[in-house]
Amino acid sequence: MSSQIIRTAHSSATEARQAVAEFHAAVVQQDMALVIFFCSSEYDLDVLAAEMNQRFSGVQVVGCTTAGEIGPAGYLQHTLTGASFPADSHLVVSGLLEDLSRFEISRAQVFVQTLLQRLESNDPKVCLENRFALLMIDGMSSREEPAAHALQYALGKIPLFGGSAGDDQKFVRTYVFSNGKFHADSAVLVLVNTAFPFMTFKTQHFIPTEERMVVTEADLSERIVKEINGLPAAEEYARMLGVRVDELNPMRFAASPVVVMIAGTNYVRSIQQANPDGSLTLYSAIEEGLVLRVAHGAGLVSNLEQTFDKIHAELGHPQLVIGCDCILRKLEVVQNGLQGRIAEIFKDNNTIGFNSYGEQFHGIHVNQTLTGVAIGSARTGTDV
């Protein structure tokens, strides 16, 4: 058995060149199948890219910008964090899907088939059950829904999870990293075949109320709800909360998002803002006829603990967890002074990742959710 393991690290250096040097020194190992990183948008991205290319020459490197990072020390800000995967236990291919603004389902099918062929040409014996897919996508593209759905459809039984890249809450421009460069209006899909057991997961701590809200008028392209139950959307939402329209603010929206039920499971759709015309802008796609329920948070910490309890029951102690954790969850954690406990949970479970502008799970785009993959420590006995 090889002594090579998945190595994780972070650097708090604020200068890009130094941050990459520290990260490289901590994760470098022989025969790396993949290096993945998550970085603050505050770095000089041109310098960071050049340094990554020099330090990891010949290695497959992917990443994205964030709204905060998760590293070996827990929740981080203005840092570089990530991991390296040894080639003796992982077979990895990745691809860049550009021009999301002109995204078409047919492109996704060809894109995925090409990646699958590359993966299988490396080793025809690879086992389908040992694969998962990670999606990192431009968080300002508003194309997460069609992209995630089409990619998961093309992937078939291979489970997909992911997150939308951030830019430290500036909401101007977000990037994914592939082929040695940062790209906007793009997505990176990573297919991983691992010799270790794994499970993809999602968790959110919101419980829906029983009262239904039906979207009766919406602007799909702009993710705007104009009417709910035939009334101005902001007015009807405020009535459901028992507050005035002028009392609606980001903290109200974060505390009481709406949820939609898909195949018996609740998925969170967060509200971004109330508009002067009485409409509501959401972080996720919306459509007329959709049935929504207002939800309220219940125990973020206990919910996270239960999630990791399930991971332990399934895999034992994970050697790595990659998490895509919504920025709205982090804001709630900070507001309620929970950073210390959340950091402990993440550290105890070898978690790296980033705060995202949206999350994807099995082809569905959601908000205020933690999605991820946990990789166990004991090899399955199958080839990669």
* Rounded Cα distance, 44 and 210, in Å: 48
Q: Which of 326, 367, 365 is nearest to 144 (CA)?
A: 365
Residue spans of beta strands (DSSP E) within 87-159? 90-97, 131-137
User: Quick one: 94 and 146 in the same domain?
Assistant: yes
User: Quick one: 118 and 88 in the same domain?
Assistant: yes
* Rounded Cα distance, 268 and 265, in Å: 10
Q: Which of 197, 199, 205, 134 is nearest to 360 (CA)?
A: 134
Considering the domain boundaries, does residue 147 fall inside one? yes
Beta-bridge partner residues of 215: 228
Residue 261 has a pLDDT of: 86
Considering the domain boundaries, does residue 1 fall inside one? no
pTM, full prediction: 0.92
Strands 160-164 and 176-178, bridge-based pairing: unpaired
User: Quick one: 234 and 267 in the same domain?
Assistant: yes
Residue 3 has a pLDDT of: 53
| pLDDT tens profile 240-299 | 999 999 999 888 888 899 999 888 888 899 998 999 999 999 988 889 999 999 998 889
Residue showing tokens 């991983």: 192
Residue 1 has a pLDDT of: 35
Considering the domain boundaries, does residue 160 fall inside one? yes
Considering the domain boundaries, does residue 110 fall inside one? yes
Q: Which of 49, 74, 358, 375 is nearest to 201 (CA)?
A: 375
Considering the domain boundaries, does residue 189 fall inside one? yes
* Rounded Cα distance, 317 and 313, in Å: 9
Between CA 230 and CA 233, with CA 232 as vertex, the angle to 5 degrees is 95
Residue 106 burial (C-beta neighbours within 10 Å; 0-12, 13-18, 19+):
exposed
Looking at the 3D structure of the chain, how many domains does it have?
2
User: Quick one: 323 and 344 in the same domain?
Assistant: yes
Residue spans of beta strands (DSSP E) within 270-350? 271-274, 280-282, 291-297, 320-326
User: Quick one: 104 and 47 in the same domain?
Assistant: yes
User: Quick one: 72 and 128 in the same domain?
Assistant: yes
Beta-bridge partner residues of 232: 227
CB 378 within 8 A of CB 197: yes
User: Quick one: 330 and 266 in the same domain?
Assistant: no
User: Quick one: 345 and 233 in the same domain?
Assistant: no
Half-sphere exposure of 359 (CA within 13 A, CB side): 30
Task: Give the domain-ending residue among 265, 296, 327.
Answer: 296
Strands 206-219 and 198-203, bridge-based pairing: unpaired
Record the tokens describing residue 187, joined without a space. Answer: 């997505």
Considering the domain boundaries, does residue 168 fall inside one? yes
Task: Give the domain-ending residue among 296, 331, 358.
Answer: 296
Considering the domain boundaries, does residue 255 fall inside one? yes
* Rounded Cα distance, 248 and 239, in Å: 11
User: Quick one: 266 and 196 in the same domain?
Assistant: no
Residues of the chain with pLDDT under 70: 1-3, 124-128, 380-384
- Give the Cβ contact number of residue 26 at 10 Å: 16
Residue 331 has a pLDDT of: 86
User: Quick one: 174 and 307 in the same domain?
Assistant: yes
* Residue 210 lies in domain: 206-296
User: Quick one: 348 and 240 in the same domain?
Assistant: no
Considering the domain boundaries, does residue 22 fall inside one? yes
User: Quick one: 228 and 359 in the same domain?
Assistant: no
Task: Give the domain-ending residue among 296, 320, 350.
Answer: 296
